[in-house]
Structure 1
């Protein structure tokens, strides 16, 4: 389960955050992606001030890692870059070649590398099992040599597993899967497309010879969302049964694919709503909803089957 998004400064080191993570662990969660965002000003900016507000501080990140470890969870540290003006990070992009006087991939990757390497040092010091070096960077995906150099820089600081979280439908478009240890993607596929999309992804995983997991997947508890699970702003009424229907279909589909090593669900906030508000909450978090009960039963059954 992803925890703490978007990592707003001051929200990870509170009593509410402690309660939230404990409730998440109580649902049988064994791995958590601690995900936080640094903000660049626009999609064409080349500076990523990851040590500035509103991004969580290093102390908050370390505290969350230690709290998760104390609850028996493995941690994937997941630093992400967002755009302050609301543009989706997938649209961050520049000319394919550097042009004097224009913002460039070279300048952006220099700043981005500092951000990710800083996270790698924290992940190494705190014993994180995995580090995600990027999330849904669709326009940046084609910058193969920049990504390979970034992985080299990360490996100089971090000895754990390295993954890259590509966006939905992009699994077969990445040309540098050999550089990472684990292939991962955002599996926000319509409820009736799971088999088709898994059929498409399977040859990619086989060719790469790497483990695979969905580093993001989930569905809002809202009418219409099972067909558009990636659309967090889709109009609809709160409906926990719709979320449950999606969870059942997703878990059923991936359970038949031995090459899917896991799924990290989206998502669990640092400040959790009260259980009495679950019926009217239409977001991704399954806490207090039918999908939450199903999740607890499913995860605990898996642990009884395979305690490792």
Structure 2
């Protein structure tokens, strides 16, 4: 009898759900599928998280206003880590922001313009500015920026810059990063954020530092944090959570950094399946 009770107690201990108070997830390649759509059961999951007082955070390289459009129905009930960690908003209130100096922005523009087949987005607090008219670039900018403006001279729009995004349809890891790494990494956080994107932020700014600021503001620990990501710009955020999950489809380097790997990819609704298993 005593052995039976002890076995039941050990079983309960084994299956006890972790005390998760915050869930942060990357968007593209993670929460969103290849068609840039949310999982079918996302809003049902979100309501269940709210009932359990678990905060949901969208953490992305995307512009804040683009994320507002994606989560229009629930934006005032969640948090955002936008522009790869340079802009943090909790339930409509700015928590933190980091800016690149105009002089540095101009220097970056001059360097990147020498690299073939690239496009530049200067990501201001209130609007994203671009100059290149190449169709693939313009289309891709439209996917990630809700407030954007085509300008004749991008060098005239360098104030209040949160991030500089560089597009290369041939791949930024091979064709852009090697050119800018040594020239710019002393002054900026340079990260390959996707197959065709490279982002530059103020030194020390990343999703992980942004997550820490949000955790501190809300008195939430890394042991109470669940994170999902798929690319190199998610690494610092994954390192700041006990329950860190790289997607099944994640970059191999990211899978090595995370504590766990999801059983399903972003196209198989891997994030919501893991959330249901862990906390619901």
The TM-score by the shorter chain falls in which range? 0.3 to 0.5
| RCO higher in structure (CA 8 A, sep ≥6) | 2
> Normalising to structure 1: TM-score of the pair?
0.31
> Normalising to structure 2: TM-score of the pair?
0.33
